[in-house]
Chain A
Amino acid sequence: NAGVTQTPKFRVLKTGQSMTLLCAQDMNHEYMYWYRQDPGMGLRLIHYSVGEGTTAKGEVPDGYNVSRLKKQNFLLGLESAAPSQTSVYFCASSPTGVDTGELFFGEGSRLTVL
């Protein structure tokens, strides 16, 4: 039972470097989300997708891009990392969206930007 898998789990970047976080789910869920979690704050939605080939902006999309070329994968890209992007990133998926359905989260990716 893999569920939602995120890679990598940890990464250290220098300011200006780029990277991609990969989220893969094996539950055939339509909806996928990328959140960031910072100390003292609630989870904040970066981008989300309601199905293969679709993406939409969340609350804090600036500095991030996403792609959903395959239903099971949702990629989060940082083109030019900044120290403000130091955070723990969580991917989540759900079969029906957040109106009634629970979110299934990956284990998180801890990113440090120096």
Chain B
Amino acid sequence: GQNIDQPTEMTATEGAIVQINCTYQTSGFNGLFWYQQHAGEAPTFLSYNVLDGLEEKGRFSSFLSRSKGYSYLLLKELQMKDSASYLCAVSDSNYQLIWGAGTKLIIKP
């Protein structure tokens, strides 16, 4: 079966750095996505990785290792507004998105 694993919840301090991991086992791979979802709101796109390595976009970076079936989202200089759920999703061999259950990130002052 297809599976995306991410931690259920993480806590971090304002101004710090946090890394949210995602491991996947899918039938084929056509890219990995990270989305942010604030409580009661729609998911919004953060990043897309299809090749190994690190993609940096402002305070957020996303890393991919296809051989290990592993990705992480790195958030720097955490702000209170970063409190949200972070969803990892993989596009499989049929170009269908398989979603993880999400990681709820709690930022403390």
Contacts and interface: CB of A to CB of B under 8 A. Distances in A.
Interface of A: 4, 40-45, 58-59, 90, 97-100, 102-108
B44 A105 contact: yes
B99 to A, nearest CB: 3
Contacts of B91: 98-99
A103 B48 contact: no
Contacts of B45: 102-104
A42 B100 contact: yes
A102 B48 contact: yes
15 contacts: A43-B43, A43-B87, A43-B89, A43-B97, A43-B99, A45-B96, A58-B96, A90-B42, A98-B96, A100-B50, A102-B33, A102-B48, A107-B42, A108-B41, A108-B42
B43 A105 contact: yes
A4 B43 CA distance: 12
A45 B97 contact: yes
B79 interface: no
B42 A41 contact: no
Given A42-B4, A90-B42, A105-B43, A99 B30 contact: yes
A96 B39 CA distance: 28
Interface in B37-55: 40-45, 48, 50
Interface in B52-109: 87, 89, 91, 95-102
A45 B94 CA distance: 13
A105 B87 CA distance: 13
B50 to A, nearest CB: 8
A107 B45 CA distance: 14
Contacts of B7: none
